[in-house]
């Protein structure tokens, strides 16, 4: 079953605001990934993190891989309307010796909506 707890489940943004979401796990992952999904589309990779403590930016997005390897956060600065969508964290256990599939375990998603 799902092992990643993602919060908040939903949030409202106003243009220009910074937003933050995070993901925690009961087990260790070697890689953390953040995806965004628009309606009717598959998830698109935003940021990948490979090392505990790593802080990585992609434009207005910043993500960190927690030191314990059990958590990660994603920040969006100066939000714009097209930031609306569902954001998923995903953890990956990478097995170098055997092709264990490197399947992703996903969080439940954070739905980002525009403040009415």
Partner 1 sequence: GAGVSQSPSNKVTEKGKDVELRCDPISGHTALYWYRQSLGQGLEFLIYFQGNSAPDKSGLPSDRFSAERTGGSVSTLTIQRTQQEDSAVYLCASSRNRGWRGYTFGSGTRLTVV
Binding track, positions 65-94, relative to partner 1; x by CB under 8 A? -----------------------x-x-x-x
In this structure, what token pair is assigned to residue 10? 């939903």
Strand, helix or coil for residue 92: strand
Distance from C-alpha of 11 to C-alpha of 32, rounded to nearest angstrom: 22
The residue among 17 and 108 lying less far from partner 1, judged by its C-beta, is 108
Binding track, positions 25-64, relative to partner 1; x by CB under 8 A? ------x-x-x----xxxxxx--x----------------
- The kind and range of the H/E element at 17 are none
Q: How far apart are the first and last CA of the chain?
A: 35
The residue among 2 and 14 lying less far from partner 1, judged by its C-beta, is 2
**With CB under 8 A, what is the number of residues at the site for partner 1?**
28
């Amino acid at each position: 079953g799902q092992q990643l707890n993602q919060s908040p489940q939903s949030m409202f943004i106003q243009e220009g605001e910074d937003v933050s979401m995070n993901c925690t796990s009961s087990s260790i992952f070697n890689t953390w990934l953040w995806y965004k999904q628009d309606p009717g589309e598959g998830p698109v990779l935003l940021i990948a993190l490979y090392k505990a403590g790593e802080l990585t930016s992609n434009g207005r997005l910043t993500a960190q891989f927690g030191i314990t390897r059990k958590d990660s956060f994603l920040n969006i600065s100066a939000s714009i309307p097209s930031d609306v969508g569902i954001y998923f964290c995903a953890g990956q256990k990478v097995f170098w010796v055997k092709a264990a599939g490197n399947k992703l375990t996903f969080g439940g998603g954070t739905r980002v909506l525009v403040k009415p």
